[in-house]
Amino acid sequence: MNWHGIKAIYKFEMARTRRTLFQSIVSPVISTSLYFVVFGAAIGSRITEIDGVSYGSFIVPGLIMLSLLTESISNASFGIYFPKFSGTIYELLSAPVSVVEVVVGYVGAAATKSVILGGIILATANFFVDVQILHPYWMFLFLVLTALTFSLFGFILGVWADNWEKLAIVPTLVITPLTFLGGSFYSISMLPPVWQTVTLFNPVVYLISGFRWSFYENADVAVGLSVMMTCGFLLVCIVAVWWIFKTGYRLRV
């Protein structure tokens, strides 16, 4: 394992975060804080509790997951797309680093930034609502697994995209709607039976449900199923990345 190569890629990507601190950290935290103000105060005054948890506290895991998914995909996709755009991808492909080392460097940096952002948003939430974490280890596990999974997905998106519009279309038109419809602001048990069944086809439901369980032991689906779905999606992304580098898909064009 070429640890020097991994370290170089990782440090370069982390340095990019420091150069774009407002966009990478400050902006998502401010946006999420506005959600706490609007939904926690305005709507929370009319919806007092869901499953025994105050509405303001109930939406905390969903809002963290919303930011985590969006930022994981954005960070990882931009990290690999920009070398393609600038033409420096060929230097990376000819460097003495393996596929595993390239992916570990880029995805590791993106996941690290997402986990840090999730921690900051969690700390910020305490200024607005009372947050209780009943299972901190499970919470951290879901946080890391989700960050890794969607950083890998973002890496795949960055390889697939051949213009800036495609780079933004999936997070904006796919991931964000799925997160809003995945129980971020409500429990799917509140939906009619037919829509409860339809919602179970949304993979984000399992992420949010498992993450919320680690806070309040409230879950829309079994925790074990949430872990299995997350790990399954992670495995699919790993196989897709392996195939991309094996075939050179959109890397050598």
Residues contacting 176, CB < 8 A, separation 6+: 66, 70
* Cα–Cα distance, 155 to 158 (Å, whole number): 5
How confident is the model over 58-75, as pLDDT tens digits?
Answer: 888 998 998 899 889 988
In order of 79, 111, 159, 245, the CA distances from 107 in angstroms are 9, 6, 13, 15
* 157 has a pLDDT exceeding 80: yes
- Work out the mean pLDDT of the chain and round it to a whole number: 85
Lowest-confidence range among 35-39, 58-62, 161-165? Answer: 35-39
pLDDT at 206: 92
**Interatomic CA distance for residues 123 and 133, integer angstroms:** 12
Distance from C-alpha of 234 to C-alpha of 178, rounded to nearest angstrom: 18
Q: Give the sign of the dihedral formed by CA 166, CA 167, CA 172, CA 174.
A: positive
Q: What's the average model confidence in pLDDT over 37-57?
A: 75
d(CA 105, CA 99): 10
Residue ranges covered by each domain of the chain: 3-247
Give the whole-angstrom CA distance, residue 209 versus residue 205.
6
**What is the distance between the alpha carbons of residues 175 and 168, in angstroms, rounded to a whole number?**
11
**pLDDT score of 138:** 93
Q: Which helix (H) or strand (E) holds 54?
A: strand 53-54
* Nearest-angstrom CA–CA distance, 4 and 185: 43
Distance CA(212)–CA(52), nearest Å, equals 13
Range in 47-51, 158-162, 186-190 the model is least confident about: 47-51
Q: Could you report the per-residue pLDDT of 176-205, keeping only the tens digit for each?
A: 888 888 888 888 888 888 988 889 899 899
Strand partners, 155: none
Tell me the pLDDT tens digit for each residue of 204-239.
999 999 999 999 988 889 999 999 998 999 999 989
Kindly state the average pLDDT of the residues 161-171: 82
Give dist(CA 191, CA 39) in Å, integer: 19
Note the pLDDT of residue 3. 81
| 47/167: higher pLDDT | 167
pTM (global) more than 0.85: yes
